Amino acid sequence: MLYAWNSGNVKMKLTGESRIAMLLIKKLIHSCQGSTIVISRFNSNQPANSYFGAVAGETIYATSTQQNCGCGTSSDSMTVGTKGEYVTIYQNGNYLVAKTPKLTGAVDWDDPDSIQSHVSYNYVTISSNLDNISFVMGDSTRGSVVHIAARFSKHYYRNRPPAEIMLKEAVVVKHPYSSGFYAN
């Protein structure tokens, strides 16, 4: 009986967490400047196409179910980029992480070393139950659709198989050539 209770409870939490993650990614893709989209990987230890980066076209807010990913300063909610900021969402192990740059202190814009030394990053862990995520441009000549596939899983009872959920989305890039309808 305890096994069935844990199973249902974990599946509900995992479903909620995975939907929050997909909603954040969809918001970023809908609002981003399509010409700035980068799909790659965070590092060579991560799966191919598990990194998405773009310049945000509007402010995006995120709430996490996890408070710390162990990858720097982190909180359970944050503004994931305001208009014009470069936002990245990527897989790092079993974590789905959002990262935005932040300037600290006075910067000498003529000195590249000064700029580099005054940049820090804000991180938020969107999920700690990510198995795999993949981003693919549907038609790279037009750059109008990004396909997302993500699998989340969580162990919940001794040596039983984990609860798993797979989500797929095809998201339209609303601003493929500019930051807005009128290129604001």
What is the residue-level pLDDT of the chain in tens, covering all 184 positions? 445 556 778 888 888 889 989 998 998 898 888 888 889 988 888 888 999 999 888 887 766 555 544 444 444 556 666 778 888 999 999 999 988 887 777 777 777 777 777 778 888 888 889 999 999 988 666 668 999 999 999 887 777 788 899 999 999 888 877 654 444 3
Report the alpha-carbon distance of residue 10 to residue 38 in Å, rounded: 33
Report the alpha-carbon distance of residue 58 to residue 181 in Å, rounded: 12
| Domain assignment of residue 99, yes or no | yes
| Domain assignment of residue 179, yes or no | no
For residue 31, what are the domain limits? 2-172
For the question of whether the overall pTM of this predicted structure is more than 0.85, the answer is no
Contacts of 92 (CB under 8 A, 6+ apart): 42, 46, 69, 71
DSSP secondary structure letter of residue 115? H
| Domain assignment of residue 9, yes or no | yes
| Domain assignment of residue 107, yes or no | yes
Report the alpha-carbon distance of residue 115 to residue 105 in Å, rounded: 10
Are 148 and 166 a contacting pair, CB within 8 Å? Answer: no
- Pairing status of strand 163-172 against strand 130-137: unpaired
pLDDT confidence of residue 183: 41
| Domain assignment of residue 142, yes or no | yes
Q: Which residue has the tokens 């993500």?
A: 150
Structural domain count of the chain: 1
Both tokens of residue 143?
Answer: 């750059």
| Domain assignment of residue 181, yes or no | no
| Domain assignment of residue 180, yes or no | no
